[in-house]
Structure 1
Amino acid sequence: MRRLFPVTDPTLSAAADREWTFDELAEAYAYPAPGEWDDGRWLRANMVSSLDGAAQHEGRSQSLSSAADMRIFGTLRALADAVVVGAETVRLEGYRPARARDAFAARRAAAGQSPAPVIAVVSASLELDLTAPLFTAPLVPTLVLTGAAAPPERIAAARKAGAEVLIAGDGARVDPARAVRELAERGLVRLLTEGGPRLLGQFVAAGVLDEMCLTVSPTLTAGSAQRVASGPAVAVPERFALASLLERDGFLFTRYRRVRSIG
């Protein structure tokens, strides 16, 4: 792994291109100090894209990833209070509960976090496989965010399965800004979303995304795969500033922060 930005050592050479430890990655991707947060929470996204803009290949993102990308993926999870993900991505990617990682145990304990991050599933219909390990065997209870108009019988079934259901919308759909507030009110303020593209598009449109971690994969897919964020275009594009840029095996690991969120 090489740090390309910010440049801390102008003599950086290929000899410095090595696998970073989890401690080094944790420091590189640490959440900002609370004083930098606009409203007591920080939402970052982590996505991967091919060179031609595909967020997935044949419905999944795995073929665009790499070993270094997965180490960063694991680090970002290990730093978060909660991982927010759309129900469709849960189904397509076969989501399982987050696990406790020995490499991050002391860091999480010092931050007052649970041993593993909470998985928070956003679903309007609540058409979820409640027999999946995500609901039957989590280290910490899985959360489900839905709207007030969700089918009452499915809300009851999710609660019976052990999930905590949070109402985060007045109608059938989840209000992205309210979802973030509901999680923050439960002390889940270091938030990470892994998509999918439709959910990320909703966070972007609502203006609640603080940070974008985008892996640029040195692959070409063509086809008609979704972008990393999809949905209606925002009225005015929001400006983000480059915070860091890492490279490993041709993969670029970018991190951008919303300009107005930086103290």
Structure 2
Amino acid sequence: MARAGVPRAQPGAGRRHMSAGITAADRRPFDADRMHASYAVDVVDAGGGSDSVFCRANMVESLDGAATLGGRSGGLGDPEDQRLMSVLRSHADVVLVGSGTVRAEGYGGAAVVEADAAWRTARGRDAQPRFAVVSSRLGLEPRHPFFADSAARPIVVTSDAAPPDRRDALARVADVIVAGDRRVDLAAAFAELGRRGLRSILTEGGPGLLGALAEADLVDELCVTLSPVLVGGAAPRISGSAEERPRAMRLVHAIAGERMLFLRYARS
């Protein structure tokens, strides 16, 4: 449905308007070196101090705003999107996800591909960033691939209200951060991650976690892969929260892949 006050485009007009923006001619094969340069960030400059913590979110959505296809975000991606995910992870100290996302998306194993692991070690960093899962109830089992197959010791972020026996069980396979009394205090969790030297945080959601981070004003950057598909249905958006809390962001870049459009936004 056309928006009020906005005239309908005439046939062929889109081609004229596209000449001023991104066109099919701007699409390029994925180049890892280009992507590493395009997504580089200095945590101190971005956060404003040597003790700062920087949080970047990476999400994928359809043309009509769906965050999942068939219940998984992976259904919206393609090999280029997966490769960019590895690039973004390689710039992070820790990859933060919600427990529901760990289950739905099948997290486990190495975070980055070999080429990006080499990119990290060439810069004096560990080959793999660490994974961290946010969970209030601690329903994940210690034998879950997220823990059992992780290339680096994972982290569990929970609250003081979590069952003590579950906390003790997971402490055998992960470092446990208790942040908050009745619910997870994400700002306190970020502060503790920073104290542990994990200052560059990449979150991959899901929507509930991203919504909570946005509500707490902890999102410094948002990277969105726009997938060229219409999903329909009742799939969630990339950020879910109980209240509307608009926050303006500025476009840093838009990179056209073979199929996808890769968007990077930062705090205004």
TM-score of the two chains, using structure 2 as the length reference: 0.86
User: Counterpart in 2 of 1:27?
Assistant: 37
- 2:79 is the alignment partner of 1:67: yes
- Kept in 2, the 8 Å contact 1:22–1:103? The answer is no
Q: After the TM superposition, which residues 168-179 of structure 1 pair with which residues of structure 2 at under 5 Å, given as runs? A: 168-171=179-182, 173-179=183-189
User: Counterpart in 1 of 2:4?
Assistant: none
Shift of the alpha carbon at 1:56? 0.1
User: Counterpart in 2 of 1:222?
Assistant: 232
Partner SS for 1:199: helix
- Kept in 2, the 8 Å contact 1:42–1:189? The answer is yes
- 2:163 is the alignment partner of 1:163: no
| Residues in 1 aligned to 2:92 and 2:29: alpha-carbon distance in whole angstroms | 22
- Kept in 2, the 8 Å contact 1:101–1:116? The answer is no
User: Counterpart amino acid of 1:129?
Assistant: E
- 1:127 to 1:34, Cα distance in 2 relative to 1, 3 A: same
User: Counterpart in 1 of 2:251?
Assistant: 242
Shift of the alpha carbon at 1:17? 3.6
Q: After the TM superposition, which residues 121-160 of structure 1 pair with which residues of structure 2 at under 5 Å, given as runs? A: 121-160=133-172
| Residues in 1 aligned to 2:174 and 2:43: alpha-carbon distance in whole angstroms | 31
Shift of the alpha carbon at 1:99? 4.1
Q: After the TM superposition, which residues 5-84 of structure 1 pair with which residues of structure 2 at under 5 Å, given as runs? A: 17-32=27-42, 34-38=44-48, 40-84=52-96
Shift of the alpha carbon at 1:110? 5.0
User: Counterpart amino acid of 2:216?
Assistant: A
- 2:264 is the alignment partner of 1:255: yes
Q: How many residues are matched?
A: 246
- 2:113 is the alignment partner of 1:104: no
Q: Write the deviation string for residues 31-62 of structure 1: whole angstroms up to 9, x where unpaired.
A: 23522323512100000111111000121012
- 1:242 to 1:134, Cα distance in 2 relative to 1, 3 A: same
| Residues in 2 aligned to 1:15 and 1:54: alpha-carbon distance in whole angstroms | 27
- Kept in 2, the 8 Å contact 1:97–1:119? The answer is no
Shift of the alpha carbon at 1:181? 1.3
- 1:257 to 1:59, Cα distance in 2 relative to 1, 3 A: same
Mark the runs of 5 or more structure 2 residues left unpaired by the alignment: 1-19
Task: Give the share of equivalent positions with the same residue, in percent.
Answer: 41
User: Counterpart amino acid of 1:258?
Assistant: R
- Kept in 2, the 8 Å contact 1:245–1:252? The answer is yes
Partner SS for 1:48: strand
Greater Cα shift, 201-210 or 133-142: 133-142
| Residues in 1 aligned to 2:123 and 2:136: alpha-carbon distance in whole angstroms | 32
Greater Cα shift, 22-31 or 188-197: 22-31
| Residues in 2 aligned to 1:184 and 1:156: alpha-carbon distance in whole angstroms | 23
- Kept in 2, the 8 Å contact 1:148–1:168? The answer is yes
TM-score of the two chains, using structure 1 as the length reference: 0.87
- Kept in 1, the 8 Å contact 2:57–2:223? The answer is yes
